[in-house]
Amino acid sequence: MMGLMVFVSSATLTKARVINEQDLQKISEINAVFKSLTNDIAQALKRAAVSGAESDCLKSIQKEVVQTSAELSSYQYLLNIVSEMDDYGDDKSLESLVRFALDKSIAMLDNERKRLSQVPDECIHFPSSTAATQQALHFIDLTSEALKSVRPRF
């Protein structure tokens, strides 16, 4: 998840002055939602009364969120490489690479949202997994909104 925070506020975007105070507030909110989500899942998994089926549902949500964060990190890595190229000389190429990373991240988040929205029937019956799914969708929506708000600036 921290890859996302670095991704959205990467040196490339900061250097290009496309990150503003409102964006930084969104990043802070996304970070808080992610921390709350991962903490809530961890606490639910530690409960003695959690059933095997409920545990499987929670672990599945946790896996999806971790996977999403890892995929975002790969695009963040691209932006970090680009940000190190001070003498690149071709702003259009730099902007093209940033747009590519943003577009791929937004598309990945859209796909992840669709996947998480299809809650398995066996998980619907557990309040903790339903709540975790809603938190995960909120995290994805906030992240997507943040990236979409930066995208037109390139």
How far is residue 89's CA from residue 82's CA, in Å, rounded to a whole number?
Answer: 12
The pLDDT, as a whole number, for residue 83 is 61
Mean pLDDT, the chain, integer: 80
Q: 65-90, pLDDT tens digit by residue? A: 988 888 887 777 666 666 665 555 56
Q: Say whether pLDDT at 15 is over 60.
A: no
For the chain, how many residues are written?
154
The pLDDT, as a whole number, for residue 6 is 43
User: Do residues 58 and 130 make contact, with C-beta atoms less than 8 angstroms apart?
Assistant: no
Structural domain count of the chain: 1
Q: Say whether pLDDT at 18 is over 50.
A: yes
The DSSP code sequence of the chain is -HHHHHHHT-HHHHHTT---HHHHHHHHHHHHHHHHHHHHHHHHHH-TT--HHHHHHHHHHHHHHHHHHHHHHHHHHHHHHHHT-TT---HHHHHHHHHHHHHHHHHHHHHHHHHHHS--HHHHT-HHHHHHHHHHHHHHHHHHHHHHHHGGG-
Q: What is the pTM of this model?
A: 0.80
The pLDDT, as a whole number, for residue 26 is 81
Q: Say whether pLDDT at 3 is over 70.
A: no
- Higher per-residue confidence, 13 vs 107: 107
Which pair of tokens denotes residue 121? 């029937």
Q: 22-70, pLDDT tens digit by residue? A: 877 887 888 888 889 999 999 999 988 889 999 999 999 999 998 888 8
Percentage of the chain lying above the pLDDT 90 cut:
36
The pLDDT, as a whole number, for residue 94 is 74
User: Do residues 49 and 12 make contact, with C-beta atoms less than 8 angstroms apart?
Assistant: no
The pLDDT, as a whole number, for residue 2 is 45
Q: What is the mean pLDDT of residues 94-120?
A: 89
Range of the domain at 81: 2-153
The phi, psi pair for 51, rounded to 5°, reads -80, 165
